[in-house]
């Protein structure tokens, strides 16, 4: 039936449908434009702890017990091992015996001083005898005080047999076992106490492009491309330090990123570092159709839409929107339509 012969309500409905379809088609059209995107280099970063502090023995002796193992979480001041020196027990017994001996001498000196004072009061003793007795009493008192201080030193050394965690963190290694003989200062455990960060080792040719404050992208946990994902889904990190010395043809840089607390120290993960910018042609993934293993995009031409085969590259995040790079098959300025339009 000709359009002019349609009833007025049907004619209005047809016009409305045509306008809706045209608007949807125009809304989904896309014009290919060359744009600059970061040129990313995929490298491996190693998780490291900002500080690794050793828990050391403060006295020499035999390790009686070890209360932690590799991977244990510890708090600052927590006892993680006990070192015992049998000679300290003997020294403590000797100090106790010395205190008893000097205490007896002190008691005799006190008795002699009291007797001399009583005789002086009765007039049958001289003042010099009283002074001598008082001097002997003071000497005995000081000797008892010194012996008690020596005993306190022995007790403190015995207390220092407890090996304490120097900071909060995770135990990395425990190189001793119960029964091991250690000296003062020997390492009992190593504790990763600082915040975790990523250390990158880049080829020397990128030394001029890596800078402090630069943004990198950290993949998901894993060392394979499948586990790490793509730069479009990676989380951001920031380069906080670039070391001025090149060692073995490598530039060392540290990256600060949140959420590394559950990683192993020295665990590797995939990182994408920006080493420059490059021009690309990128399209929304929804405009790409795959048929029989070949990727196509629908190009709008004056003679109608044409499906053009393309070779795709990496997925990108351009201006916060996901895009997919087109290596061949398109030119700057091509207009694309959604598949099916």
The domain spans of the chain are: 30-50+195-337, 52-82+163-194, 86-160
Strand segments, DSSP code E, in the chain are: 30-31, 34-49, 52-56, 61-66, 73-74, 79-84, 162-164, 169-173, 181-182, 187-192, 196-203, 215-218, 235-242, 250-256, 268-283, 288-291, 294-301, 304-318, 321-328, 335-337
What tens digit of pLDDT does each residue of 269-297 get? Answer: 888 888 878 888 989 888 999 998 899 99
pTM surpassing 0.85? no
Q: Which among 236, 336, 249 has a CA at the least distance from the CA of 285?
A: 336
What tens digit of pLDDT does each residue of 137-174 get? Answer: 899 999 999 999 999 998 998 899 999 999 998 999 99
Q: Give the list of residues 6+ apart from residue 302 with CB closer than 8 angstroms, or none.
A: none
What tens digit of pLDDT does each residue of 177-211 get? Answer: 999 999 999 999 999 987 888 999 988 888 888 88
How far is Cα 60 from Cα 163, in angstroms, rounded to an integer? 11
What tens digit of pLDDT does each residue of 157-167 get? Answer: 889 999 999 99
- Architecture of the domain delimited by 30-50+195-337: Beta Barrel (2.40)
- Per CATH, the number for 86-160 is 1.10.287
For residue 207, the tally of other CB atoms under 10 A from its CB is 15
* Overall average pLDDT of the 74-95 stretch: 91
% of the chain surpassing 70 pLDDT:
90
- Fold designation for 52-82+163-194: OB fold (Dihydrolipoamide Acetyltransferase, E2P) (2.40.50)
* Overall average pLDDT of the 212-225 stretch: 83
More confident site: 37 or 55: 55
How far is Cα 316 from Cα 333, in angstroms, rounded to an integer? 19
**Lowest pLDDT segment from 58-62, 121-125, 183-187, 214-218:** 121-125
Q: Which among 222, 329, 234, 318 has a CA at the least distance from the CA of 273?
A: 234
């Amino acid at each position: 039936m000709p359009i002019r012969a349609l009833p007025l309500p049907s004619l209005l409905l047809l016009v409305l449908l045509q306008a809706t379809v045209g608007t949807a088609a125009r809304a989904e059209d896309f014009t290919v434009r060359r744009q600059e995107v970061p040129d990313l280099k995929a490298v491996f970063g190693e998780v490291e702890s900002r500080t690794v502090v050793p828990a050391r023995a403060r006295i020499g002796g035999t390790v009686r017990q070890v209360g932690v193992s590799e991977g244990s979480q510890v708090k600052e001041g927590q006892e993680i091992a006990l070192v015992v020196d049998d000679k300290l027990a003997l020294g403590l017994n000797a100090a106790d015996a010395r205190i008893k001996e000097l205490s007896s001498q002190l008691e005799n000196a006190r008795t002699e001083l009291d007797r001399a004072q009583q005789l002086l009061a009765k007039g049958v003793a001289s003042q010099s005898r009283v002074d001598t007795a008082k001097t002997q009493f003071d000497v005995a008192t000081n000797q008892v005080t010194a012996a008690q201080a020596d005993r306190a030193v022995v007790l403190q050394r015995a207390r220092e047999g407890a090996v304490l965690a120097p900071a909060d963190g995770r135990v990395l290694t425990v190189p001793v076992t119960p029964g091991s003989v250690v000296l003062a200062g020997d390492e009992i455990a190593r504790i990763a106490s600082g915040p975790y960060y990523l250390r990158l080792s880049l080829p020397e040719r990128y030394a001029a492009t890596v800078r402090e404050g630069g943004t990198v992208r950290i993949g998901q946990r894993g060392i394979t491309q499948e586990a790490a994902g793509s730069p479009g889904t990676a989380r951001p990190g920031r380069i906080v330090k670039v070391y001025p010395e090149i060692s073995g043809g490598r530039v060392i840089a540290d990256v600060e990123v949140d959420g590394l607390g559950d990683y192993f120290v020295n665990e590797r993960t995939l990182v994408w570092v920006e080493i420059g910018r490059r021009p690309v042609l990128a399209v929304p993934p929804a405009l790409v159709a795959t048929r029989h293993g070949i990727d196509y995009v629908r190009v709008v031409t004056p003679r109608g839409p044409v499906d053009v085969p393309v070779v795709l590259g990496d997925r990108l995040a351009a201006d916060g929107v996901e895009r997919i790079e087109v290596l061949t098959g398109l030119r700057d300025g091509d207009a694309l339509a959604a598949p099916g339009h």
